[in-house]
Structure 1
Amino acid sequence: MRSIASLISIVLISGFSNIFEVSAQKMDFELNVKNPGNPAEKHSLKLSSLGLLEAESEIPLRVKLFIEKIDGGELLKFEITALEDAYFNLSGKYSLSNYTYENAQLLLPGFWYRKNLRSPQDAPSARVSTDWLVREDRLSTPLTSAYDPISGKGTFLMRTDLIENLALTTHDRGEVILSGGSDLGALGFGKSQGNTFLSFSFPYSEAPFSYIRKLTLAPSVTSFHFLEKGAVKEISYRLENFESLDFSDFVSRVWHKSFDLMKPQALKNQKFTDHEIKSLLTQYFKSSYMDLGELKGFSGAHLETETCESVPILEVGFIGRVLLNAFNALQYGEQYNDKELVSMGNSVFSSYEENGFNAHGFIREYIDYRKNEEPDSYSIRRQSEGIYALLLFLNYEKSKGRQHVNLEKKVLNLLEQLKALQNEDGSFPRKFKSDFSLIDETGGSSPSAVPPLVMAYHYFGKGEFLESAREVALYQEKFIIAPSDYFSSTLDADCEDKEASLYAATAMYYLAQVTEGKERDHYRDLAKKAAYFTLSWYYTWDVPFAKGQMLGDLGLKSRGWGNVSVENNHIDVFIFEFDEILDWLGQETGQPEFLTFAQVIRSSMREQLLPHENNMMGIGKVGYYPEVVQHTAWDYGKNGKGFYNDIFAPGWTVASIWELLEIGRTTGFFEN
C-alpha cells in the first residue's frame, strides 16, 4: 500500500484533477464534534484546492482527503489529525446525479435489496424512510451500492480498511462516546432533490432508526471517536462505477468485486475431522430423542440455550427437521454399528408411517404436545422437506433390500395432494389448510417443492412429477429469478431472505440432475443467477467484537456465515447442500471463485461453535449447534451483539451441518 507521502505527491503532481473530478460528483461532508455533556456541534465541510476539508468556523481537527486513481475506480483516503483532544464523527454523501431515487435499485448486501418493499412495516424499508445509514457489521460485505436500470450503470462505495476493533458504548441511541478505539463505521444511501446518494460515517451512525431487535426500530444513534491531540486516524473507501445488464447482473458483479477485494480464505487449523464432528452431533440425537406415544422424534425447536432441556414439540421440516435427523441417525448408526441410533431412526420413521399423516394425507408437520396443539396450517416448504427426508429414507432402505410399501403409498398420495394445490402458473401457495383453503397464496416458497418432485420422479418413475417440477421452474424463472424477487421462503419472517434464493438455486440444481442438453444448461444458468443472490447474504469478512462479547471471546470468524433476512438480522449456519451447488457451478462454469467460497463456508461453519467437552460455546449440551448467532447490534429478543438469543432450534442447525459434511448425497441419490 502506498504511503501518505506518495499519495500527497500524486495529488500535487496531478494538479488535483482527481479531487476536482470527484468534487464534480457533489461530495458533501459533515463533521460532528462533541464536548462531553453537550450536544455535538455540526460543521459542514468544503473541499479546498489543497485537499483539505474545511469548516467555516474553527474546528479541533484537520481533515484531508487523498484520492488515488486505481483500476476501475478511485481510492478515497481521509486523514484526520487532532489539533487538540477531540471527540468526532465524520460523514459524507456521494451524489449520483443521474440516478433518480424512484428508479434506483439499492443494495446493502445481506440487509437491503432494491427498496426492501417485501419487508413488513417495522423492519427497515423505503416505506419507513428513503434515507438509511447502518453499521457495517450488518452487511455481508461493508459496501453500499446503487444500480440505475435506465442507464444500466451501477456504483458502489466500499470500506477498504481492516475493521478489527470494536468499543462498547453505554447507550444504544442518541449521541454516544465509544469506550475505546474502534474501527467500525456505517454505510448507507438516500434521496436528495429526487436523485440518489451513497453515504458513509465514521465511527458508525444509524439513521433514521437503528434496527435493534426483531421488528423493532429504535431511535437513531451517532457514535463519537476520541482522538488525543496529535493523533491521526485514517479511513479509506473504494469508489467504483460499472455497467450491468440488470439488477441481477449488478448483484453478481458486486459479489465478484467483493470476493476479489475482500479475498476471504478458508479457516485453517481445524480441530476435528468430519467423522469426529458427526460423532459429536450424534449426542444431540441421543439427548433430544423423545417417545411421545403416537410419534417419536427429536426435540429441535424452542429450546433454552442454557439448559437444552427437551421440549415436547415435533416439527417436520423447518425448524425441527425431525425426519431428516432421523435419517441421518439411522444411516450413521448402521455405518458405525451404533444400535441406539439405528433404533431411534427406525422408530421415528415407523411412528410417522403409522401416525404421521392426517386424514387428508398431509404430513402432520407441527405438533406441540405441551399445549396439545396441532394447528390446521400447512406449508409447502415443510411438506416438501418432509418428503425429501422420506425419499432419502426409502431410497436408502431399498438399497439395503428393505421395502416399505405402505409408506411409499402414503408419500405418493401426499405428492398427489400437493400437485392439486399447484396453480396454473406453476406456483404453490406458501401456506394452506387441510381442506385446501389458502392461508398465504404467495409463491415465494414454491422452489422448495422442486427437490422432492424431482426425487419422486426418479424414485417412482412417474413423469408427472418431473412435469410438475418443470412448471415450478417456469414460474421461478418468470416471477422469481428474472425479476430477482427472492422473498418469503423462511417461515418465521415474510420479507427478502437468503433462503428464497438458496432454494431457487437448489431447485434448478435438482432439475439439472435429471435433464440433458440445452434444458440442463438452462437450469444450470438459472441456478447460477439465483446463487449470486444467495452468495450476497454470506459474509466475506470477519466482523469485530468488543472484549466481553462472548462470540468475540470465543474467536468467532464470521466469514462464510450467512445473514438470515431483512427481518432477522443475525447470522446462522443455514447451508445444507448449497456448498455442493457452488462446487458444481464452479466445475460447470470454470469459475474457481465458487469453489473457493464453498470451502470458506465449510471451514467456517463446520466446527467454530460446535459445543464439545472442554468448550461448550455458551450452549448447555454437547452437539447442540447454536442457531441465532447475533453478530451485530440486533437480537431476536434477548442478549444482543456477541451472544445468542436465549431460545434456539438445534433441530435444523444439526441437520444443516450434517448435510454440509455429506458430500455427494444428491448426486448419489440420482445415480442409484
Structure 2
Amino acid sequence: MKTIGKILCTAFLLSGTAAASQAAYDPVSARHGLSLKVPGNSAKEYALQARPAGSGNYELVGREALPLRIGLTVSECGNATRVSVRLRALDDVWFHYAQLVPSGYRHEECQFLMPGFWYRRNLRSPEGAPSFKVADSWTVREDRLSTPLCAVYDPQGGKYVSVLRTDRPDCDALTTHREGEVIVSGRTSLGYTGFENLDGRACLSFGFPYRETPRSYVRKLTLAPSVRAFQHLRAGEELTLGWEIVSGRAEDFSELVRRVWEYSYAALAPRPVETPYTPERMKEVLSRYFTQAYVSDYPLKFTSGVHLRTADCRSNGMAEVGFIGRVLLNAFNALEYGQAHGDGEMAARAAAVFDSYLAHGFTPGGLLRESVDFAKGTETDVFSIRRQSEGIYALLYYLDYEKRRGNRHPQWERRVTDLLDRLIRLQGADGSFPRKFGDDLSVVDAGGGSTSSATLPLVMAYRYFGEKKYLECAERTAGYLEREIIDKSDYFSSTLDANCEDKEASLYASTAMYYLTLVTRGEERARYAALCREAAYFALSWYYLWDVPFAPGQMLGDIGLKTRGWGNVSVENNHIDVFVFEFAAVLDFLAGEFGDDRLSGFSKVIHTSMRQLLPYPGHLCGVAREGYYPEVVQHTAWDYGKNGKGYYNDIFAPGWTVASLWELFSPERTHAFFSRR
C-alpha cells in the first residue's frame, strides 16, 4: 500500500500543474506560532523558530522552554513540499499551532481560492458575508471548504501557491462557546486554512485546531466574532499533522480552479460511497413524496414542497413552479413513474396538476404563476427568468412524453410558445436575460447571472417545435455566457435566495453549453463542449472531495453521512445539498468527449453519495416522512436559522430535492429527448 506521502507526490505529478522554478516553501522563513492556554486564563503566545536538525528535519523552538516538543519534517517532490508537524506533550497542555508561509506576491494584486467558499475576493457577496468588503485577510475552519485548501494567485505573474491538509480528519468535538478562545470538549481533527496580508505580502495561513479570523460566519449574512480553538494533549501524548504546499502557474483564475481541482481530486482520491440503494430503490421511495404531498384543495393542484417543517412534513398551501418547489417537474416525474408502474392514482393526480396549471396557472400578462401561497392569499408579482425557464423545461418534457404516447395538447403548445415569445422580448442586445421582472416585462433586476437557466428550454423548444428562432436566442445566451460569465470566471446570482458567488450559476452554465452540443456540429459543437468543460470545473469546485468529521451527538455523523460528492451552496448559504439535476450526466459527457476518467469517476461519487439520506421507516434520517429527502444539510459551524452543524434547518423544501435526485437517476432522459427528432 502506498504511503500518504507517495500518494500525494503522485497526485501532484499527475495533476498537470505547470511548475514554477522552485518549491514554494522554506521552513526557516515561514512563521510558526504556538498558543498555550490554561483554562480560565487568556492564552499565552510564543513565536517559534525552525532549527535545522538534519535530513529535512527541524525543531521548532521558542525563546523559553516549552511544555511540548515540536518537530518539523520537510520533503520535496518536484514543486510539491510535504510538511509534517509532530507535537509531543511533556506536560498536560491546551495548545493551538499556527504557521504563516509568505507567497512573495503583493497582497493587493492577489486573488484567492478556498474551494466552495471563496473565489477571488468574494466581491459579489453582500455585506454580512465574508469578503474583501469586510477585511483583506481571512482564515476559516476546514469543514467550510469542499477541499481543505487555500491558494494564493498572482494574476500579473500567472503564478500561484497553495496549501492542502494531507492527514485525513476523522473526528470532531463540541465546544461550549462559538467565539473567542474555546477549548474543544474532546478530540477534534479539524484545522484551519486561509490567507493573510503581512506587510503588504500575501501569505498562506494554516494550523491546528481550527480558528476563524477576523470574523466567523454563523448564519446567512451574519458575521460573528473570531474564534480560536485549543486541543488538550496529556503528558506523553503525540499528534502528527500534515500539509502539502505546491507552487505552479495558471494563465487565469479559471485555469487555477481547474488545476486545483485536478490536483485535489488526485490527492484526496474520493471513492464512491457504498450504499444499498439502487436508482430503482431511490425512485421507489422518493415516489411516495408524490402521493403524500399532493394538494387538491385549491384551483392549482400541486405537490407541497416549499417551507415544510422537518418535524412533520405537513403540506401547506404554497405552490412554486420552479426553484425550490419544482411543481411541474415533479408532476412530470410522477406521471411518467405512475404510468410505468401501473399506479393509476399517481398518474391521474399528476395529470390534474398539468390541467390545473393550463386553466389557472398563468398571469394576466401570460407568465407562469411562479409562487402562490393559497393559505395566505398572496403570490409574487416579481418574476424570474429562472423559475419561468424551469417551468417551460418541465412542460416541454411533458409535451414530448405525451406526444410519444399519441396524446397531443395544442392548448398547452400554444401556451408554451406564447410564453417563450414573451420571454424572448426580455433578451438584451448582449444575449442576457434579466434576473427578475414584472408581469408587464418591466425589468426589476437586470443582472445576467441567471441567463444560463433560459438556455435549456430554448434549446429544447428548438428541438420540439422546429423553430430556429429559439436556437438563435439560445446561441445569443451562449455568447453572453462566454463573454461575461465563463471567460471572466464570474459565476454569480443564479440562485434566487442569495446574490453572490454560487454553485448553481456555474452548474447551469455548464449544462447550458452541454445542451447546445446536442444540437450543433463541427467547430461550433467543439466550442460549446470546451465552454461546458470550463464552467464544469467551477461547479466541481463546490463539491466535496473529502468527508467532513462530525462530533458524537451530531445526527449526521451518528448516522454515518459521508460528505464527499455533496455540494456547498454559495458564499451566503454555507451548507451542502443534493443540487445536481443533470450535472452528473454532463460530467459523463465531458469524460467521453475529452477522455478524462476523473470526471466520470467523480460522477460515480456523486451518484452514490447522494443516496445516503434516503428517508424510509426505520431510516428517516431526521425527517418525518418517507421520500421527503432533506435539503439544508448543515455540515459546518453555520446554520440557516436553527440547529447548527450535524442537523438540518427546521424548515426545508423537498420539492426540489426530490426533483434533483430524480433527474440524477434518469441519466438517459436528455439524450432521449434530443435523439427522437
- Residue 65 of structure 1 corresponds to 72
Residues of 1 paired with 2:322 and 2:293: CA distance?
16
Residues of 1 paired with 2:339 and 2:349: CA distance?
11
**Is 1:459 equivalent to 2:464 in the alignment?**
yes
- Residue 663 of structure 2 corresponds to 659
- Residue 621 of structure 1 corresponds to 625
Deviation at 1:178, TM superposition (A): 1.1
CA contact 1:25–1:96 (8 Å) conserved in 2? no
**Is 1:521 equivalent to 2:538 in the alignment?**
no
Residues of 2 paired with 1:377 and 1:21: CA distance?
51
1:28-79 deviation digits (Å, cap 9, x = unpaired): 1110000111000011111123311111222211112110112431100111
Matches within 5 A, 1:302-381: 302-381=307-386
1:301-358 deviation digits (Å, cap 9, x = unpaired): 0000010000110000011000000000000011111001111110000111111111
- Residue 38 of structure 2 corresponds to 35
Tell me how large the CA RMSD over aligned residues is.
Answer: 1.4
Q: Which amino acid aligns with 1:620?
A: A
Residues of 2 paired with 1:586 and 1:259: CA distance?
15
CA contact 1:323–1:386 (8 Å) conserved in 2? yes
* Secondary structure, aligned partner of 1:130: coil
Aligned counterpart in structure 2 of residue 246 of structure 1, from 236, 244, 252: 252
Q: Which amino acid aligns with 1:142?
A: P
1:71-115 deviation digits (Å, cap 9, x = unpaired): 431100111111111110001111111x22222110000000000
Residues of 1 paired with 2:280 and 2:4: CA distance?
49
* Secondary structure, aligned partner of 1:77: strand
Aligned counterpart in structure 2 of residue 78 of structure 1, from 85, 105, 127: 85
Q: Which amino acid aligns with 1:370?
A: A
Aligned counterpart in structure 2 of residue 565 of structure 1, from 567, 570, 574: 570
Aligned counterpart in structure 2 of residue 89 of structure 1, from 96, 99, 102: 96
**Is 1:182 equivalent to 2:180 in the alignment?**
no
Residues of 2 paired with 1:454 and 1:37: CA distance?
65
Residues of 2 paired with 1:242 and 1:71: CA distance?
11
Gaps of 5+ in 2: 6-21
- Tell me which moved more, 549-558 or 272-281: 272-281
Aligned counterpart in structure 2 of residue 645 of structure 1, from 643, 649, 658: 649
**Is 1:391 equivalent to 2:396 in the alignment?**
yes
Q: Which amino acid aligns with 1:256?
A: E
Residues of 2 paired with 1:664 and 1:146: CA distance?
40
Residues of 2 paired with 1:41 and 1:485: CA distance?
43
Alignment TM-score, normalising by the size of structure 2: 0.95
Matches within 5 A, 1:238-637: 238-268=244-274, 270-605=275-610, 607-637=611-641
Figure out how many residues of one structure are paired with residues of the other and give that number. Answer: 655
CA contact 1:281–1:654 (8 Å) conserved in 2? yes
CA contact 1:187–1:199 (8 Å) conserved in 2? yes
**Is 1:230 equivalent to 2:236 in the alignment?**
yes
- Residue 100 of structure 1 corresponds to 106
CA contact 2:35–2:44 (8 Å) conserved in 1? yes
Residues of 2 paired with 1:2 and 1:418: CA distance?
57
Residues of 2 paired with 1:2 and 1:446: CA distance?
47
Residues of 1 paired with 2:346 and 2:4: CA distance?
61
CA contact 1:25–1:94 (8 Å) conserved in 2? no
1:163-220 deviation digits (Å, cap 9, x = unpaired): 0010111111111111111111000102122221110020011111111111111111
1:95-154 deviation digits (Å, cap 9, x = unpaired): 111x22222110000000000000011000011111111000000011111111111111
Deviation at 1:435, TM superposition (A): 1.3
Q: 1:489 to 1:25 in 2, by over 3 A?
A: farther
Residues of 2 paired with 1:332 and 1:136: CA distance?
41
* Secondary structure, aligned partner of 2:429: coil
Residues of 1 paired with 2:26 and 2:80: CA distance?
14
- Residue 115 of structure 1 corresponds to 121
Residues of 1 paired with 2:458 and 2:379: CA distance?
26
Gaps of 5+ in 1: 5-18
CA contact 1:25–1:95 (8 Å) conserved in 2? no
Residues of 1 paired with 2:27 and 2:335: CA distance?
66
Residues of 2 paired with 1:240 and 1:649: CA distance?
41
Residues of 2 paired with 1:318 and 1:352: CA distance?
17
* Secondary structure, aligned partner of 1:458: helix
**Is 1:221 equivalent to 2:227 in the alignment?**
yes
Residues of 2 paired with 1:193 and 1:581: CA distance?
44
CA contact 2:543–2:564 (8 Å) conserved in 1? yes
Aligned counterpart in structure 2 of residue 131 of structure 1, from 112, 118, 137: 137
Residues of 1 paired with 2:51 and 2:27: CA distance?
13
Deviation at 1:2, TM superposition (A): 6.7
Residues of 2 paired with 1:582 and 1:649: CA distance?
26
- Residue 13 of structure 1 corresponds to none
- Residue 154 of structure 1 corresponds to 160
- Residue 52 of structure 2 corresponds to 49
- Residue 9 of structure 2 corresponds to none
- Residue 200 of structure 1 corresponds to 206
* Secondary structure, aligned partner of 1:48: strand
* Secondary structure, aligned partner of 2:109: coil
- Residue 14 of structure 1 corresponds to none
Residues of 2 paired with 1:430 and 1:20: CA distance?
45
* Secondary structure, aligned partner of 1:46: strand
Residues of 1 paired with 2:167 and 2:560: CA distance?
20
1:228-286 deviation digits (Å, cap 9, x = unpaired): 11211110100001111111011000000010000000012x22222221111111111
CA contact 2:615–2:626 (8 Å) conserved in 1? yes
* Secondary structure, aligned partner of 1:390: helix
Residues of 2 paired with 1:21 and 1:271: CA distance?
45
Q: 1:453 to 1:47 in 2, by over 3 A?
A: same
Residues of 2 paired with 1:350 and 1:623: CA distance?
25
Residues of 2 paired with 1:438 and 1:179: CA distance?
53
Deviation at 1:21, TM superposition (A): 8.1
Q: Which amino acid aligns with 2:338?
A: G
Q: Percent sequence identity over matched residues? A: 52
Q: Which amino acid aligns with 2:665?
A: L
Deviation at 1:22, TM superposition (A): 3.3
* Secondary structure, aligned partner of 2:658: helix
Alignment TM-score, normalising by the size of structure 1: 0.96
- Residue 11 of structure 1 corresponds to none
* Secondary structure, aligned partner of 2:425: helix
